[in-house]
Amino acid sequence: MNSVAANPEVRTKRHETVTVSELVDDYVGFLSSNHAKSVGIIERVLNNLRRHKVYRGRLAASITSEDNEDYRKARLKEHKSEATCNNELSYLRSAFIHGMRKQTHRRFCRFHTFQCVFRRWRSLIPI
């Protein structure tokens, strides 16, 4: 039996060391290796996002929906549209999903919900 599966504390300690920046690097690397057409735009957005005060130096497991909402509020104060905020957060969400599904960082075990705001309604999109 796998020692990580047998000992959940090992899994918890490992996922607590993955940063948002590492997830972004792995996701951009994955897109580049698969020759994604929009990798340049996604990389530029994610690089700006990870340098933002909300995500800079943060562990991926510590990101909450409130953090994402703080990021959204800060971007809206910079006169960005809600659609822009949704796109930026969807790229981050994709990096989190990639980290989970592809297990680029086996230390990363869980992620949170990302909130998207639409013109007519608000909805939480669980990942």
Amino acid at site 97: I
**pLDDT single digits (tens) 77-101:** 999 999 999 999 999 999 988 887 7
Residue ranges per structural domain of the chain: 3-125
Q: Is 112 left (phi over 0), alpha (psi -120 to 50) or beta?
A: beta
**pLDDT single digits (tens) 30-57:** 999 999 899 999 999 999 998 999 999 8
Q: Which helix (H) or strand (E) holds 114?
A: strand 114-117
Cβ–Cβ under 8 Å, residues 65 and 113: yes
What CATH number does domain 3-125 carry, 3.30.200, 3.30.1490, 1.10.10, 1.10.150? 1.10.150
User: Which of 63, 69, 73, 25 is closest to 47 using CA atoms?
Assistant: 25
pLDDT at 18: 82
pLDDT at 7: 43
In percent, the amount of the chain with pLDDT more than 90 equals 46
- For the question of whether the overall pTM of this predicted structure is more than 0.85, the answer is no
